[in-house]
Amino acid sequence: MSLGFLAIALIGFSATFFLPLARGTFVAPPVTYVHGTLLFAWLIFLIAQASLIRVRNVSAHRRLGWFGGLLGIAVVISGVAVSLHAARRDLAAGGDDVVLGGFVNNVFFMLAFGSLVAAAVVLRRDSESHKRLLLLATTWVLGPAWLRFRYVFPAVENPMVVFSIIADSLILVAIARDLMAYKRVHPVYVWVGGFIIAYDAIYLSSAGLHFHSAVWLRVARWLLGDAAV
Q: What is the mean pLDDT of residues 39-55?
A: 97
Instruction: Decide if pLDDT at 50 tops 70.
Output: yes
pLDDT tens-place string over residues 182-225: 999 999 999 999 999 998 888 787 655 656 667 777 878 887 87
Contact 170, 183 (CB under 8 A): no
Q: Is 90 exceeded by the pLDDT of residue 105?
A: no
Residue 132, pLDDT > 80, answer yes
Where is average pLDDT lowest: 6-10, 34-38, 197-201?
Answer: 197-201
> Other C-beta atoms within 10 Å of 9: how many?
24
- Cβ partners under 8 Å of residue 173, min gap 6: none
pLDDT reading at 82 higher than 60: yes
Percent of the chain with pLDDT over 90: 72
Give yes or no for residue 125 having a pLDDT over 60: yes
Ranges of each domain in the chain: 2-228
Mean pLDDT computed over 37-49: 97
The predicted structure's pLDDT at residue 212: 64
- Residue 228 is predicted with a pLDDT of 56
For residues 152-171, average pLDDT:
93
- 3-state SS of 93-121 is CCCCHHHHHHHHHHHHHHHHHHHHHHHHH
Which of 19-33, 137-151, 211-225 is least confident?
A: 211-225
- Digit-coded pLDDT (tens) for 66-76: 999 999 999 99
Which pLDDT tens digit goes with each residue over 85-96?
Answer: 998 888 888 877
Question: Please, are residues 134 and 117 in contact by the beta-carbon 8 Å criterion?
Answer: yes
Q: Span 49-73, mean pLDDT?
A: 95
Q: State how far Cα 165 lies from the chain centre.
A: 15
On whether the CB atoms of residues 143 and 109 are closer than 8 A, the answer is yes
Give the span between the Cα atoms of 111 and 187, in whole angstroms. Answer: 22
- Contact between 164 and 105 under an 8 Å Cβ cutoff? The reply is no
pLDDT of 149 > 60? The answer is yes
Mean pLDDT, all residues of the chain: 91
Amino acid letter, 130:
H
pLDDT of residue 78: 97
**How far, CA to CA in Å, does 119 sit from each of 82, 85, 125, 143, 183?**
24, 28, 11, 20, 25
Structural contact between residues 10 and 143, judged by C-beta atoms closer than 8 angstroms: no
